[in-house]
Structure 1
Amino acid sequence: MMRAWYLPVLFTGCGSLVAAVRAVNGSVGPAVAVWLVFALLAVVHSPLVFPRPVGAVRARELGAVDGRPIVYWRAGCKYCLRLRFRLGRDARRLHWVDIWRDPAGAAAVRAVNGGAETVPTVVVAGRPYVNPDPRWVRAQL
């Protein structure tokens, strides 16, 4: 679970360091602007921008009942971010499984991707699709 927060913590730390150097040099306004940019990057690359994840087992159970697709993802993945942002509010209609928090989810992704943890992997009606087009995923809803 901790590795999901490595990138946001790194962005926050680097941003704080750069902002502190600028502030010490007397550029307080640019220091605040730089820190805000790094803080925004930290939030965007954190698990906070994704809907609340569920476990892989629970996602399969829910998907069997309601027919909604399952998205296996991980924090910091630019393709996962692209899918999440292009889906907009429709993202809440999917079951999201964070493979860094759920070992069963990581195992499911490795099983369909030849041992690789390639995300996003979207499972629709039992068939996996690796990095599908967001328009296609929206159409599956």
Structure 2
Amino acid sequence: MIRAWLLPASLTLVGLLGGGSRAADGSPLTGLFVLVAFLLLAFVNSPLLFPRSLTHAEALRRSAADGRPVVYWRPGCAYCMRLRTRLGSRAHRAHWVNIWRDPEAAAAVRAANDGNETVPTVLVISPDGAETVMTNPSPAQVEQAFAT
């Protein structure tokens, strides 16, 4: 859990120090801009941007019941953020699993990606039980999985 917040906390601290330094030098507007920019970066890199993370077992159970895809992600991953932001409000149609919170999910991602923890990895379970794994898919591919 601490690992997920390390980058956002560091960015917030840098923003506070940089913004405070600029304000102390007589440029409060620049200081405010620096602070806001780093706070925005901290938010984008935090787990707050993503839907509530489930465990691997819970996501598989829910996916089997409702047919929604399972998206494995980790905080700070630029490709995960790209996928999440490009999906917008449709991102809640998937079950999101943070691989840093769930060792079982990290193992599943490694098994699907030749031992690498490459995220985002999307698992789609069809009604007949067949599994399709997509590594770093485009938002269009994930949206197509929503439709099936």
| TM-score, normalised by the number of residues in structure 1 | 0.98
* Long gaps (5+) in structure 1: none
- When the two chains are superposed, the root-mean-square deviation of aligned CA atoms in Å is 0.7
Aligned match of 1:134 in 119, 132, 139?
139
- Could you give the per-residue CA deviations for residues 26-56 of structure 1, whole angstroms, max 9, x where no partner exists? 1111101110010011001100010001000
Query: Who is 1:95 aligned against?
Result: 95
Count of aligned positions? 141
Give the match for residue 64 of structure 2: 64
CA distance in 1, matches of 2:65, 2:29: 53
Shift of 1:98: 0.2
Superposition map of 1:1-141 within 5 A: 1-125=1-125, 126-141=131-146
Query: For 1:73-130, what per-residue CA distance to the aligned partner results, in whole angstroms no more than 9, with x for missing partners?
Result: 0011000000001111110010000001111111110111111110000001222110
Identity of aligned residues (%): 52
- Write the distance in 2 (CA, Å) between the matches of 1:57 and 1:104: 8
Alignment gaps of 5+ in structure 2? 126-130
